[in-house]
Amino acid sequence: MQLSREQLEQAYRRMKIIREFEERLHVEIGKGEIPGFTHLYAGQEACAVGVCENLTDEDLIVSTHRGHGHCIAKGCDVKGMMKEIYGKAGGICGGKGGSMHIADLDVGMLGANGIVGGGPPLAVGAAIATRNQGKERVTLAFGGDGSCNQGTVFEAMNLAVVLKVPTIFVFENNGYSEHTAFEYAVGSGDIAARSEAFGMPAIKADGADFFSVYDATKQAVERARKGEGPATLEFAICRFYGHVEGDPQNYRGPDEVKNLRETMDCLKNFRTRVGEAKLLDAGRLDEIDEEVMTLIEEAVTEAREAPPPAPDALYTDVYNAY
Amino acid sequence: MSVKSYRDAINECLAQEMERDESVIVLGEDVVGGSGSKGGKEAIGGVFSLTAGLWGKFGDNRVMDTPISESAIVGAAAGAALAGMRPVAEIMFTDFMGLCLDQIYNQAAKFKYMFGGKAKTPMVIRTTHGAGMSAAAQHSQVNYSWLTNIPGLKCAVPSTPYDAKGLLASAIRGEDPVVFCEHKMLYMSQGEVPDEPYTVPFGKGNLTRQGKDVTIVGFARMVTLANEVADKLAGEGITCDVIDPRTTSPFDEELVLESVEETGRLVIVDESTPRCSMASDVAGIVSSQAFEFLDAPIKMVTPPHTPIPFAPSLEWTYLPSADKIETAVRETLEGR
């Protein structure tokens, strides 16, 4: 483990921000404050952060409908994200994108995506761009287990191998394609093996363990930066909420979420790991918790108080609105 | 006859048609829900519960959860149709049709013609369309206008529970591929729906209001707005024909032309963006075939030519509204 104290604190802070961002959204959505369809990332924080702590602002990611965690891990402005999700002026996309379409190209976040399987082909193209620009940058395509069954993903994986570009396909296997179980929907039951069949290395890791995710990603990123081509990462993880807010989750077993929160909570795991190894003390982590709670409270307050986008915003950012 | 929701009318139709004909099968993402899970099957019955209860009645071979693989879903439906089944595939949101467009427009739509009439492709793609839920740019669109541009493909845009049930039965019993567009904002709307199976024919529009001053043609949810405006203006002595074409392909030209020949004024209300839309298509039909009857320019009430914004304030500005329709009707009466 080569991470400095500062890096560990940043990793924990980002995981905690994601967790509390999502927990708070769940509450506010319950009150009817948030418009639209929201897909919460809570439970998967170690995946986004374990991956992105290997990246710089120069590296690129594409994300999914469940993208808040990826955005925060990549360094998107949390308050701007909250305003976006509330559909307000000052939102990171001016209130025009919403929860499923957050993007911030300045930090290498090329966009969340409402189309399952929409992102991986984009990640191949972005990797072509960085290769041709002579930069040692990598592009990562996040996806869920559901996305591994899309033809677009198969095509993107093969193209990345053919062109030998620095694209890394990240599959966060949370066990469900929306409301259908992984065991049913993925015939072979093995995403990594599928990826290997396309001609790239694939690593499986424990998605609830930040360090496991971090180390697996490091291998893939180092390889890709050296021009050795694409790779796949498959992380076993769980989501604490439904596919979308409002999902009755009848597909869950009895006490499934309660058990997952007890046994697969990546934040608790992280605290235990850094505590046992005497890397960070609990007091410092508690301070971070408090800072995060303040940040989230401010983000919600500011989002609530922000005005809606100006009506004319409807007609901007398009070549011709007619 | 009893009052049912648009959603229940569709669900009832699916069950009755499956009962009636064992070649009718249903496939799509989460149409059963919970396959392979600890909670078990029938977890959801489609994300808007349109297929709830079907798996329990008809079993694994006739109601199939699929992986998230739109191209394979539509292609499998087309193949099953070629081989003698009557599949009803679900594409969860019409926005996802980009993923399976080849199977729709190069495959299913062309078989009958391209194979010299030897093949039938009796299949239905059910999908939800339309804005109004802040579902943003990739979950709110309508695409019936560009589907209407595809020869060999039919397209239904029901606006009432009665039409939803009857048009879906026609679609399932027909011989051509149909995209059946269900408006997500109408699922909870209520209306009289016969309990027994019946069909509403394709290509036959519905005159939902009768008047003499202006013809309003609306599609899908826009019909409800057009009716609202017609009712309001009737109080001032301005009367409108409101036409719900029910299907965009085939399209009931005759009903629209006959109405415009009487009123001389036409307002078209379409949730599509304006270029190459049903609105521009109907305007083209009327101006080329009934120009001499027009007393005022044709008015189109559509969203602007932009993607659909997320913020509710922008989304409702984007969408046609009763106010915008009323303004258009008044303008056409003034010859503007």
DSSP string, B156-175: E---SHHHHHHHHHHHHHSS
Q: Does B60 touch chain A (CB under 8 A)?
A: no
Within-domain flag for A252 = yes
Q: Could you say which of B67, B72, B310 has the minimum Cβ distance to residue A97?
A: B310
Spatial distance between the Cα atoms of A114 and B310, rounded to a whole number of angstroms:
12
- End-to-end CA separation in angstroms for chain A: 57
Spatial distance between the Cα atoms of B170 and B201, rounded to a whole number of angstroms:
6
The per-residue pLDDT for range B38-70, each reduced to its tens digit, is 999 999 999 999 999 999 999 999 999 999 999
Spatial distance between the Cα atoms of A17 and A69, rounded to a whole number of angstroms:
9
**What's the token pair of residue A116?**
């399952």
User: Is B167 exposed, middle or buried (CB count within 10 Å of its CB: 0-12, 13-18, 19+)?
Assistant: buried
Spatial distance between the Cα atoms of B103 and B101, rounded to a whole number of angstroms:
5
CATH 3.40.50.970 residue spans of chain B: 2-193
List Cα–Cα distances, A230 to A152, A166, B68, in angstroms. Answer: 16, 5, 24
* AA identity, residue B110: K
- Residue B39 DSSP class: S
Say yes or no for a CB contact (<8 Å) between B35 and A117: no
Give the homologous superfamily in CATH for domain B2-193: Thiamin diphosphate (ThDP)-binding fold, Pyr/PP domains (3.40.50.970)
**What's the token pair of residue A191?**
């995403």
A60-62 sheet: strands from edge to edge = A60-62, A139-144, A167-173, A231-236, A202-206
- In the prediction, which pLDDT does A6 show? 96
How much is the average pLDDT of A70-89?
Answer: 98
Say yes or no for a CB contact (<8 Å) between B38 and A37: no
* CATH number given to B206-333: 3.40.50.920
CA distance A262 to chain B (A): 18
Contact list, B280 vs chain A (CB under 8 Å): none
How do B206-209 and B240-244 pair as beta strands? antiparallel
Q: Give the number of domains in chain A.
A: 1
Q: Find residue A176's DSSP bridge partners.
A: A181
Instruction: Identify the closest residue of chain A to B96 by CA–CA distance.
Output: A115
Q: Could you say which of A36, A254, A311 has the minimum Cβ distance to residue B133?
A: A36
Has residue B336 got a pLDDT over 90?
Answer: no
**What's the token pair of residue B270?**
């379409």
- In the prediction, which pLDDT does B1 show? 78
List Cα–Cα distances, A22 to A28, A30, A82, B205, in angstroms. Answer: 10, 12, 10, 47
Say yes or no for a CB contact (<8 Å) between B37 and A251: yes
Q: Which of A285, A159, A296 is nearest to A230 (CA)?
A: A159
Q: Which of A233, A208, A296, A205 is nearest to A20 (CA)?
A: A296
Q: Which domain holds residue A232?
A: 5-305
At A1, the pLDDT band (50, 70, 90 cuts) reads low
Q: Could you say which of B38, B67, B317 has the minimum Cβ distance to residue A311?
A: B317
Has residue B326 got a pLDDT over 60?
Answer: yes
Q: Could you say which of A96, A116, A314 has the minimum Cβ distance to residue B68?
A: A116
How much is the average pLDDT of A235-241?
Answer: 98
At B327, the pLDDT band (50, 70, 90 cuts) reads very high
CATH 3.40.50.920 residue spans of chain B: 206-333
Neighbours of A288 (CB within 10 A): 17
Spatial distance between the Cα atoms of B279 and A238, rounded to a whole number of angstroms:
47
CA distance A200 to chain B (A): 23
Per the rule left: phi > 0, alpha: psi between -120 and 50, beta: everything else, B238 is beta
DSSP string, B120-153: ----EEEEEE--SS---TTSS---HHHHHTSTT-
- In the prediction, which pLDDT does A2 show? 80
Q: Which of B84, B94, B100, B96 is nearest to B25 (CA)?
A: B84
**What's the token pair of residue A147?**
């996305």
Within-domain flag for A320 = no
* B-contacting residues in A 49-78 (Cβ below 8 Å): none
Has residue B304 got a pLDDT over 90?
Answer: yes
Say yes or no for a CB contact (<8 Å) between B274 and A248: no
**What's the token pair of residue A1?**
């483990």
- End-to-end CA separation in angstroms for chain B: 44
Within-domain flag for A318 = no
Specify whether B183 is catalytic: no
pTM: 0.96
Could you give the percent of chain A with pLDDT greater than 90? Answer: 98
Q: Could you say which of A37, A150, A151 has the minimum Cβ distance to residue B135?
A: A37
Q: Output b/e per residue, B232-268; b: 16+ Cβ within 10 A.
A: ebeeeebebbbbbbbbbbebbbebbebbbeebbbbbb
* B-contacting residues in A 87-116 (Cβ below 8 Å): 87-88, 91, 93, 95-101, 113-116
The per-residue pLDDT for range B207-264, each reduced to its tens digit, is 999 999 999 999 999 999 999 999 999 999 999 999 999 999 999 999 999 999 999 9
CA distance A219 to chain B (A): 30
The per-residue pLDDT for range A141-195, each reduced to its tens digit, is 999 999 999 999 999 999 999 999 999 999 999 999 999 999 999 999 999 999 9
How much is the average pLDDT of A276-293?
Answer: 96
User: Is B113 exposed, middle or buried (CB count within 10 Å of its CB: 0-12, 13-18, 19+)?
Assistant: exposed
Q: In 3-state terms, what secondary structure has residue A301?
A: helix
How much is the average pLDDT of B103-121?
Answer: 97
Say yes or no for a CB contact (<8 Å) between B69 and A95: no
The per-residue pLDDT for range A243-276, each reduced to its tens digit, is 999 999 999 999 999 999 999 999 999 999 999 9
ipTM > 0.90 (yes/no): yes
Instruction: Choose, out of B29, B65, B68, the residue to mutate when testing the contact with A (most A CBs < 10 Å).
Output: B68
Within-domain flag for A321 = no
Has residue A283 got a pLDDT over 90?
Answer: yes
Q: Does A155 touch chain B (CB under 8 A)?
A: no
* CATH code, domain with A83: 3.40.50.970
How much is the average pLDDT of B79-89?
Answer: 98
At A200, the pLDDT band (50, 70, 90 cuts) reads very high
- In the prediction, which pLDDT does B214 show? 98
**What's the token pair of residue A233?**
């990462």
- In the prediction, which pLDDT does A320 show? 79
Can you list the positions of beta strands (E) in chain B? 2-5, 24-28, 63-65, 86-91, 124-129, 154-156, 178-183, 190-193, 206-209, 214-218, 240-244, 247-249, 266-269, 299-301
The per-residue pLDDT for range B145-194, each reduced to its tens digit, is 999 999 999 999 999 999 999 999 999 999 999 999 999 999 999 999 99
Instruction: Choose, out of A63, A250, A257, the residue to mutate when testing the contact with B (most B CBs < 10 Å).
Output: A250
